[in-house]
Amino acid sequence: PPTPATQESGHITMQGSEKNYATLEDALKEAKDGAVLEVHGKVELHNDVPINKSITLKAGSQGAMLSTDKVHRTGTASKSAEALSLQVDSGKTLTLGDGTTSELLLDEVHVYVTKGKLVLQDGARINSNLSCDSNKFPKVNNSIVGISGKESSAEFKGGVVENPATGATAAFKNDTIVTIQDKAQVSEISGGTYKGTRVVFNVSDENTKITKITGGTFEQSDWTGLSYPCFKIENKARVDSISGGTFTSYHFGAVQLESGASIGEISAGTFTSLYPKAHATMYSGAIPFCSGLVLYGRNGSSPVVVDKITGGTFTGTNGILSVGNEPKQMAKIQSITGGNFSSIDGETGNAGLYFTQNSEVGEISGNVVATGRNVGIWNAGTIKKISGGTYTGQNSDGLQNVDYSQMKEITWGTHFKGHIEEITGGSFKGKEHGLMNAGVVDTISDGIFDGETNAIACSSKTKKGQLSTIKGGAFYAKKGTAIVLVSPLSLEPDLGKQNEAIGVGRYYASAGKAIFNDESKVTYPSYTNKGAKEPYKMSDASDGQKDVASYPDTAFRYLKGPNLAVTFMNDGQPYATVQVEIGKSINSDSLADQKMPANASKNGYLFKEWNTQADGKGTTFDGSTAVQGNMTVYAIYDLQQSVLNASPVLKVTDKTITEGESLDLTSLVTTASDAEDGDLKAKVQIKDGGFDSTTVGTYKITFTLTDKQGAKVTKTATVTVTAKPKPKPQPQHKHGEPWTQPALPEGHHPDLQPQPQPQPVPTPQPQPGLEPQPMPQPQPQPEPEPETQLQPELEPQSQPQPTPQLQQDARPSTEGTTSFKAKSLPHTLMGEIPMSLGPLLLISGLCVFSLKKKKR
C-alpha cells in the first residue's frame, strides 16, 4: 500500500474515499474510470505520468499544486532543465478543473494528448517556461499543451494556460502555449485564457480542425520583436467558425492563416494587433502584417481562404491584411458582408481593409465599415464586386486602387496592380479623394464618391488609372473637378438604350469647376429619335437635382436628353410648336417659357381635343402627356349642334294583341336613325307603361331616342290587349237520357292535369249552422268570364233536381271526393270536378256537382 502523505508535503485523495496518496501515480493505480482526484497542497512529479484512466483532477484545498520536482526544473551538468508532463496516450479522458474558482496549479507541468482527450475547465491553471525533452515529444516539446494525432481530441471550456515570462530573452522557452496538430480534432473552444509572448495557439496540418470558437481570451503578453502571430492556423488546417473570443497580438496577426489554411466563417469576435504600442521598429514590408486578421499565402501550392466574414471587430495597422507570395499561393476571401475594420491611431495606422498582391475578394457588401488612418480600402489585388458598405480615409482616400507593376522604387515582393471589376454600391469618402484609381476599375454603376479634392481621381502623375464605364452613382468634389480621367470613359451607356429623360448619375463640382477634366475622353450616350441620334448633355450648374439623400441641400448636375418638339396642326396647317424635355410633359418640365397653346378654332365646329391622329382615332394629347420623341398632334372638332345637327327620326306603330299573346316592344319601332349618326334602333329607350300581355286593357308605350349631339325625340305607341273568344255552349242534357262521355280529341287524355288558373277572388265565408232552405225559383245567372285555358268538355247526365244547398266555400273541398276531367263545361265548372255521393243539381241548364258533408 502507498505510504500515507502528510498535509505539509501534499497529498491526493479520491472522492468517495478517505485514503491519502502521496503521488499521482499511487492514486491512479487504485482509481477507476470516472474517478475524481483532489489535490491538497503541493504534490511533486518525479517523472512523466501516463494517464491510463479517465479521471478528473481538481483542487481539494487552497494552494493545490502539481509541480515538476527541483531536479528536473533546474537541470544538471549533463542534462538541461525540463518540465515533466501528464501524458494521455491510452484513449482515456483527462479533465482538468471542475468549473469552479478553486484553482489547481500545474507548475512547470505540461499536458500532452496523443491518443485520448483533454477537457480543460475553470479551476485549472497551467504555468510553464520550461520545454519538455525534445527526444520524447519532438513535435510538441515547445508547447505547454499539445494535442497531436488523429486519435486525439480536446475541448477548451475554461481555465488558464500561460507562459509567465516576458520580453525577447534567451531564457524564454515554449514558443507556443497550445498546439493542435497532425489531424487532431477540437470540438469547441468556449472559454479560458491562453497567454504568452509568442504564438499562443498553433493549429497545424491537413485534416486538423477546430469545429468552433465561441469564446476565450488569446493574448500575447509582450513585444518580442519577432514575427509571431497570436492565433496561427497553417499547413491546410481549418477552423470551421469563429463566433466569439478576444484575440490580441503585439506583432503580426491577432489571427493569421498561412500555407493553405482556411476558416469557414467569422461572425463575431475581437481581433486586435497592438504593434504601435510596443514602440519598436520593424522594416516597412512587414508592418502591414500587424493586423487584426492576416491571410498570408506562403509555402506549398494551396491558397489560404476565408469563406465569409459576416461580423467582428478588426483593428491593427490594418483591420485585415490579405496577401499571397505568388499566384498559386493566393489569399482569398469569398465574401465580406459585415464587420468593423479599422487601423490603429499613430503613424503606422494605414487601412481598414488592405488587399495586396495575389489576393482576391469575391464581394464586399452589407454592413461593412472600414476606416483607415490613410484609406478605407487599399487594393492591389482583385476585388470582383463592391455592393455596399462605408469606407473612410481620414487622411487620404476612401478607396485606393493602386498599380505597383512598373514602379522602379519597389524593390521588395512581387509587382502588382489593383483590379476592381464592379462597384454597385457603397460610400467612399476621403480627405483627398473618394476613389484614387491607378489600377483598373471596370464599371461603377452606383455608390457615393466624396472627396475634398476630387470625387474620383485617376492618377495624373503616372498617367495610369483606367476607369472604363460609369453607369450611375453620386460624385461629389468639394473643391475641385469631380472626375479626373487619364483614359477613355463610357458615360451611362444604357441611357441611350432606354431613351430616358435624364440620367441616373449625379455629379457635383464646386463653382467654376468642371465635372470632367478632359471632355474629349468622355463618350456620352445618344438619344434615338425617329432613327436619328442626338447626344445627351450634362445639365448646367443652375439646373440641378436635389435627390441624393446624403446631400439633401446640394443640387447635383445630371445627363439630360435633347429637348423635343411637339407640333400642333389645325385643319392641315401648323398651328404651334412647343419644346419639351425628353420624358417630361409640357406642364411638368423645367422649360418655363414653353406652354400648351390655346385651343384651336374652326367655323361651324367646336374644339374637342388634340389627338395623335388626324382622324381622331389616336391618343388624346394634353399638357400632362409625357413626350418621348418629336411628335405631331392634330386638332379634333365636333360639329356645332345649333347649325348642323338635325334631330333624329323616330317612328313607331300601334299594336293589338289577344290576351296571353307575347309581344316584343322593340318591334313597334319602325324607324330610328340620325343624319349624323346613322341607324340608332339599338339606342332607343322604352318605358312600357305597365304593359301586361295577360291583362286585358290599353297601354301607352313611350319611346325616346337621343343622338350623340344631344338632340332628342319621343314617340308613343298604343298596345291593346283584347279578351280571348268565349267557348260555344253545349246542348243541354235532357232528363232521363243516359249520359255518355264524349270522345276526346286526339292526343287528349282524361287524366291530364289542368293548366294553372288565375287565383280566384275569395267569396264571403258562410255562417256555420244554417239549415237548408227551400230552393227559390232560380234566377238567370250572369255569364262567367272565360278562363285563360279551356278544359275538355264533359257531357252532363240527367239527374233529379235536388234541393239547392247553401254554398259552404267557393273552393270545393277535396275531402272524400273523386276527381275527373270535365270537357266543355262553363268556366265556373272547368278543371277538376269534386264528385261524391251527394245530390246532383241542375240549375239553368248547368250541371253542378255538390258534396254534402256528413256530420260527424
- Give the 3-state secondary structure of residue 835: strand
CA distances from 624 to 584, 629, 650 (A): 8, 15, 42
**Residue 654 identity:** D
Give the highest mean pLDDT range of 93-102, 131-140, 584-593, 797-806: 93-102
Name the residue with cell 483532489.
Answer: 38
Kindly tell me if the per-residue pLDDT of 369 is higher than 80. Answer: yes
Burial level of 648, CB count in 10 A (0-12/13-18/19+)? buried
pLDDT tens, 433-449? Answer: 999 999 999 999 999 99
**Cell numbers linked to 125:** 491553471
**Residue 255 identity:** V
pLDDT tens, 750-771? Answer: 444 444 445 544 444 444 443 4
Q: In the prediction, which pLDDT does 500 show?
A: 78
pLDDT tens, 196-249? Answer: 988 999 999 999 999 999 999 999 988 777 789 999 999 999 999 999 999 999
The residues near 263 (Cβ < 8 Å, ≥ 6 apart) are 233, 238, 239, 240, 241, 242, 255, 257, 305, 306, 307
Name the residue with cell 243539381.
Answer: 841
Mean pLDDT score, 369-377:
97
Work out the pLDDT band at 852, boundaries 50, 70, 90: very low
Q: In the prediction, which pLDDT does 5 show?
A: 38
Kindly tell me if the per-residue pLDDT of 789 is higher than 60. Answer: no
- Residues across the chain: 856
pLDDT tens, 661-696? Answer: 999 999 999 999 987 788 998 889 999 889 998 999
In 10 A of CB 282, how many CB atoms? 17
- Give the 3-state secondary structure of residue 65: strand
Work out the pLDDT band at 68, boundaries 50, 70, 90: very high
Residue 161 and residue 96: Cα distance in Å, rounded?
11
* Higher local confidence (pLDDT), 552 or 413: 552
Averaged pLDDT of the chain: 84
Q: In the prediction, which pLDDT does 629 show?
A: 83
Sorted by where each begins, the domain ranges of the chain are 8-134+141-154, 197-275+290-373, 404-561, 564-639
* Higher local confidence (pLDDT), 377 or 823: 377
Residue 559 and residue 507: Cα distance in Å, rounded?
9
- Cβ density class 406-428: b for 16+ within 10 Å, e for less: eeeeeeeebebbbbbebbbbbbb
For domain 564-639, give the CATH superfamily. Listeria-Bacteroides repeat domain (2.60.40.4270)
* Higher local confidence (pLDDT), 831 or 574: 574
Kindly tell me if the per-residue pLDDT of 820 is higher than 50. Answer: no
Find the DSSP H helices in 441-484.
Answer: none
Q: In the prediction, which pLDDT does 225 show?
A: 73
Task: Give 695-707 as a DSSP string.
Answer: S-EEEEEEEEEE-
**Residue 292 identity:** G
CB 439 within 8 A of CB 380: yes
**Residue 828 identity:** T
Kindly tell me if the per-residue pLDDT of 120 is higher than 90. Answer: yes
- Give the 3-state secondary structure of residue 687: strand
Residue of 406, 416, 352 lying closest to 380 (CA atoms): 416
The phi, psi pair for 545, rounded to 5°, reads: -115, 125
**Cell numbers linked to 762:** 275569395
CB 582 within 8 A of CB 563: yes
Residue of 446, 432, 336, 420 lying closest to 392 (CA atoms): 432
Q: In the prediction, which pLDDT does 277 show?
A: 60
Residue of 803, 812, 825 lying closest to 729 (CA atoms): 825
Residue 472 and residue 292: Cα distance in Å, rounded?
34
Q: In the prediction, which pLDDT does 212 show?
A: 98
CB 83 within 8 A of CB 120: no
In percent, the amount of the chain with pLDDT more than 90 equals: 61
In SS3 terms, 783-807 reads as CCCCCCCCCCCCCCCCCCCCCCCCC
Name the residue with cell 487601423.
Answer: 343
- Give the 3-state secondary structure of residue 181: strand
**Cell numbers linked to 245:** 473570443
CB 341 within 8 A of CB 319: yes
- Greatest Cα pair distance, the chain, in angstroms, is 168
Kindly tell me if the per-residue pLDDT of 82 is higher than 80. Answer: yes
**Dihedral over Cα of 817, 823, 824, 830: its sign:** positive
In SS3 terms, 341-406 reads as EEECCCCCCCEEEEECCCEEEEEEEEEEEEEECCEEEEECCEEEEEEEEEEEECCCEEEEECECCC
Kindly tell me if the per-residue pLDDT of 589 is higher than 60. Answer: yes
Residue 331 and residue 355: Cα distance in Å, rounded?
9
DSSP state of 549: T
Residue 314 and residue 273: Cα distance in Å, rounded?
9
First to last CA, the chain: 126
Mean pLDDT score, 821-850:
39
Q: In the prediction, which pLDDT does 391 show?
A: 98
Work out the pLDDT band at 731, boundaries 50, 70, 90: low
Mean pLDDT score, 475-503:
91
- Cβ density class 550-573: b for 16+ within 10 Å, e for less: ebeeebbbbbbbbbbbbebbbeee
Q: In the prediction, which pLDDT does 848 show?
A: 42
Q: In the prediction, which pLDDT does 41 show?
A: 95
Q: In the prediction, which pLDDT does 168 show?
A: 60
Kindly tell me if the per-residue pLDDT of 740 is higher than 80. Answer: no
Of all residues in the chain, what percent are helix, strand and coil, respectively (each to 5)?
5, 40, 55
Mean pLDDT score, 52-81:
91
* Range from 168-182, 518-532, 774-788, 832-846 carrying the lowest mean pLDDT: 832-846
**Residue 781 identity:** Q
* Higher local confidence (pLDDT), 337 or 834: 337
Mean pLDDT score, 714-733:
80
Task: Give 744-775 as a DSSP string.
Answer: PPTT--TTPPPPP-PPPPPPPPPPTTPPP-PP
Name the residue with cell 479626373.
Answer: 484
**Cell numbers linked to 814:** 277535396
In 10 A of CB 53, how many CB atoms? 19
